[in-house]
Amino acid sequence: MDKSKILTEIAAALQEHIRHIEASVTRYKLASDIDDDDTMDPEDLSRQAEASDMQLRFEQLLLQAKEQEFFIMDHDDENHDSIVPGALIETDSHYIYIGISVPSFQLEDKTVLTISEKAPAYLAMRGKKPGDTLELGEHYYKIVSIL
Same structural domain for residues 71 and 7? yes
- Provide the pLDDT confidence category of residue 96 given band limits of 50, 70 and 90: very high
Q: How confident is the model at residue 37 (pLDDT cuts 50, 70, 90)?
A: low
Q: Are 100 and 68 in contact (CB under 8 A)?
A: yes
Residues 6+ apart with CB under 8 A from 72: 7, 10, 11, 14, 99, 100
Task: Judge whether 80 lies within some domain.
Answer: no
Whether 40 has a pLDDT exceeding 70, the answer reads: no
Q: Tell me: do 70 and 125 sit in the same domain.
A: no
Structural domain includes residue 83: no
Of 75, 99, 132, the residue that ends a domain is 75
Q: Residues for the chain: how many in total?
A: 147
Please state the pTM of the whole predicted model: 0.85
Is 10 in the same domain as 69?
A: yes
How far apart CA 18 and CA 146 sit, in angstroms, is: 27
18 and 66 part of one domain = yes
- Is residue 70 assigned to a domain? yes
Please tell me the total count of domains within the chain: 2
Among 40, 75, 110, residue at a domain's last position: 75
Beta bridge partners of 115: 98
Domain hosting 25: range is 3-75
- What does the DSSP assignment read for 22-79? HHHHHHHHHHH---GGG--SHHHHHHHHHHHHHHHHHHHHHHHHHHHHHHHHHHTT--
Share of the chain above pLDDT 90, in %: 76
pLDDT tens per residue across span 62-72: 999 999 999 99
| Domain end marker among 29, 53, 75 | 75
Say if 33 falls within a structural domain: yes
Confidence of residue 131 (pLDDT cuts 50, 70, 90): very high
Please, which pLDDT band fits residue 144 given cuts at 50, 70 and 90? very high
Residues 69, 93 share a domain: no
Could you tell me if 19 and 54 lie in one domain? yes
